[in-house]
């Protein structure tokens, strides 16, 4: 068995060992295990059953990790993406008042499209059509949106009649957020693996000691039923019958696709896999993600994507698919700890959202701010996502303004045809929303 594993994952060629790969997989898991509790919390806001989402999250994550490890042979883990789950719950379900059942159907359709464009090798065409600066802006805007949700959920930012929002009072359960945030910041600056997960665990314990969080009567329990969400997407495919839902599906597709592509390339750079500025086996990697996204929608969760926390496992020596497979197996074991959902309140998850927002916002540095025709649409995307509480609105505004500024700068020939098509799609989208 040892020889088979070594040969299958080419451990000798990658100058690594089974022990090192398993350790890397465990490191990656503890770095991203928070998604098991954060995802049900976010999707629960849409009305979805948190227990079912917990189970769907674990299974979809495990499937994506195992596929990534076996097919693409990369030490990259997958799980429902933060940001796109916020779009699912807050923008589509709450903002557009679209039922979560219909939204799941939208994820299913987007996943099918993702699989098709991967099979037919159309990813290069799509990647080339969306300007790099706008990709960075989308990622950064989602980061700010996530951070805003975290600050709000942690009671650090509250509503105000005069100024819309203001700083919350540092009292009560807000201290759980403050304590957790400071702890995570310190651990991350010190490069401690699993900083976010450790911060959540310790802040939850802090909250229970202080009496802000109820103490659970048990830790291990049977796996929550999938019945409330299982195959619901298929039953509501007929609801994908409006331009509004077409835009939602397109947004799911584009945001998931480019977030995943960007993460894959960044992690490949870190691990030293890039060759001639290209990522080997990127097709298999994208197929692993898209398959997990497809299955995840049937189970009952938002789109699955590659996780930047995989960098923690890579940092400790993970170089093969065995790392990802190990992480996937650990997600299965995580299924038996659903009682902890009651302990993981919005104040406990808030630091994770804020810090992930910081990580995603770093993409702002990659935008070409010296050119106004680029800076203006990029800024609109970044600023309006959190301010409108809608990822789709921010994306739409940027895609509408970009062709206009490029035309004004006499750079219209540089605008891909797809961007002109999206210009008209989003114009119609806004018109429908305001009719």
Residue 389 in this model has a pLDDT that exceeds 60? yes
Q: Which two tokens stand for residue 375?
A: 């800076």
Phi/psi-derived region of residue 25, left when phi > 0, alpha when psi is between -120 and 50, beta in every other case: alpha
Can you give the pLDDT at residue 298? 96
Neighbouring residues of 112: CB distance < 8 A, sequence distance ≥ 6? 294
Q: What is the dihedral of CA 81, 87, 93, 94, to 10 degrees?
A: 130
Neighbouring residues of 34: CB distance < 8 A, sequence distance ≥ 6? 196, 197, 200, 349, 352
Residue 124 in this model has a pLDDT that exceeds 70? no
Instruction: Look at 20-34, 89-103, 177-191, 268-282 and tell me which has the smallest mean pLDDT.
Output: 268-282
Most confident range, picked from 33-37, 186-190, 326-330: 326-330
At residue 127 the predicted structure's pLDDT band, cuts being 50, 70 and 90, is: low
Q: Which two tokens stand for residue 306?
A: 């590659």
What is the spatial distance between Cα 220 and Cα 207, in angstroms, rounded to a whole number? 20
pLDDT in tens, 163-183: 888 988 888 888 999 999 999
What is the spatial distance between Cα 418 and Cα 426, in angstroms, rounded to a whole number? 12
Mean pLDDT of 173-198: 87
Q: Which two tokens stand for residue 34?
A: 């928070």
How far is C-alpha 235 from the chain's CA centre?
A: 25
Can you give the pLDDT at residue 139? 76
Residue 433 in this model has a pLDDT that exceeds 60? no
Residue 202 in this model has a pLDDT that exceeds 70? yes
What is the spatial distance between Cα 39 and Cα 53, in angstroms, rounded to a whole number? 7
Can you give the pLDDT at residue 278? 65
pLDDT in tens, 288-302: 988 999 999 999 999
What is the spatial distance between Cα 343 and Cα 337, in angstroms, rounded to a whole number? 11
At residue 328 the predicted structure's pLDDT band, cuts being 50, 70 and 90, is: very high
Can you give the pLDDT at residue 65? 96
Can you give the pLDDT at residue 84? 84
Can you give the pLDDT at residue 108? 95
pLDDT in tens, 54-65: 999 999 999 999
Residue 367 in this model has a pLDDT that exceeds 70? yes
Residue 267 in this model has a pLDDT that exceeds 90? no
Can you give the pLDDT at residue 44? 93
Residue 349 in this model has a pLDDT that exceeds 70? yes
Phi, psi of 39 (to 5 degrees): -60, -45
As a whole number, the mean pLDDT across the chain is: 86
* SS3 track for the chain: CHHHHHHHCCCCCCCCCHHHHHHHHHHHHHHHCCHHHHHHHHHHCCCCCHHHHHHHHHHHHHHHHHHHHHHHCCCCCEEECCCHHHHHHHHHHHHCCCCHHHHHHHHHHHHHHHHHHHHCCCHHHHHHHCCHHHHHHHHHHHHHHHHHHHHHHCCCEEEECCCEEEECCCCCCHHHHHHHHHHHHHHHHCCCCCHHHHHHHHHHHHHHHHCCCCCCCCCCCCCCCCCCCCCHHHHCHHHCCCHHHHHHHHHHHHHHHHHHHHHHHHHHHHHCCCECCECCCHHHHHHHHHHHHHHHHHHCCCCEEECCCHHHHHHCCCCCHHHHHHHHHHHHHHHHHHHHHHCCCHHHHHHHHHHHHHHHHHHHHHCCCCCHHHHHHHHHHHHHHHHCCCHHHHHHHHHHHHHHHHHHCCCHHHCCHHHHHHHHHHHHHHHHHCC
Q: Which residues sit opposite 79 in a β-bridge?
A: 305
User: In this structure, are residues 40 and 345 in contact, taking their beta carbons and an 8 Å threshold?
Assistant: no
Can you give the pLDDT at residue 121? 75
Most confident range, picked from 176-185, 247-256, 381-390, 413-422: 176-185
Can you give the pLDDT at residue 401? 94
Instruction: Look at 11-25, 154-168, 302-316 and tell me which has the smallest mean pLDDT.
Output: 302-316
Q: Which two tokens stand for residue 105?
A: 């159907």
CB burial string 206-218: b at 16+ within 10 A, e below:
bbeeeebbeeeee
Can you give the pLDDT at residue 247? 78
At residue 341 the predicted structure's pLDDT band, cuts being 50, 70 and 90, is: low
pLDDT in tens, 101-122: 999 999 999 999 988 888 887 7
Mean pLDDT of 389-393: 75
User: In this structure, are residues 107 and 230 in contact, taking their beta carbons and an 8 Å threshold?
Assistant: no
């Amino acid at each position: 068995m040892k020889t088979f594993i070594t040969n299958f994952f080419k451990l000798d060629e990658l100058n690594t060992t089974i022990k090192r790969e398993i350790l890397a997989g465990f490191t990656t898991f503890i770095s991203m295990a928070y998604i098991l509790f954060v995802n049900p919390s976010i999707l629960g806001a849409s009305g979805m059953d948190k227990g079912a989402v917990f189970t769907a999250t674990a299974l979809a994550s495990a499937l994506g990790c195992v596929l990534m490890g076996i097919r693409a042979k990369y030490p990259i883990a997958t799980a429902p993406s933060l940001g796109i789950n916020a779009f699912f719950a807050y923008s589509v379900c709450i903002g557009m008042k679209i039922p979560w059942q219909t939204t799941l159907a939208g994820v299913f359709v987007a996943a099918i499209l993702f699989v098709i464009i991967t099979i037919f090798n159309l990813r290069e065409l799509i990647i080339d059509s969306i300007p790099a600066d706008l990709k960075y802006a989308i990622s950064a805007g989602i980061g700010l949106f996530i951070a805003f949700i975290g600050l709000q959920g942690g009671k650090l930012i509250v509503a105000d009649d005069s100024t819309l929002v203001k700083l919350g009072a540092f009292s009560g359960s807000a201290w759980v957020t403050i304590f957790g945030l400071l702890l995570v910041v310190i651990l991350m600056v010190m490069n401690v693996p699993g900083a976010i997960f450790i911060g959540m665990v310790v802040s939850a314990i802090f909250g229970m000691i202080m009496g802000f969080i109820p103490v659970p009567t048990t830790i291990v329990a049977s796996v929550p039923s999938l019945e409330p969400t299982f195959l619901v997407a298929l039953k509501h495919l007929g609801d994908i019958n409006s331009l509004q839902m077409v835009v939602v599906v397109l947004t799911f597709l584009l945001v998931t696709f480019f977030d995943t592509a960007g993460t894959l390339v960044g992690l490949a750079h870190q691990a030293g896999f890039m060759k001639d500025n290209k990522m080997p086996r990127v097709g298999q990697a994208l197929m692993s993600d898209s398959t997990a996204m497809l299955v995840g929608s049937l189970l009952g969760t938002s789109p699955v994507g590659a996780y930047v926390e995989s960098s923690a496992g890579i940092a400790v020596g993970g170089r093969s698919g065995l790392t990802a497979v190990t992480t996937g197996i650990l997600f299965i074991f995580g299924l038996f700890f659903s009682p902890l959902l009651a302990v993981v309140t919005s104040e406990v998850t808030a630091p994770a959202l804020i810090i992930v927002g910081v990580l995603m916002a770093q993409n702002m540095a990659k935008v070409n701010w010296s050119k106004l025709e680029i800076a203006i649409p990029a800024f609109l995307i970044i600023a309006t996502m959190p301010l409108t509480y809608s990822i789709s609105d921010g994306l739409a505004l940027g895609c509408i303004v970009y062709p206009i500024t490029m035309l004004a700068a006499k750079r219209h020939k540089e605008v891909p045809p797809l961007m002109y098509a999206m210009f008209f799609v989003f114009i119609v989208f806004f018109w429908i929303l305001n009719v």
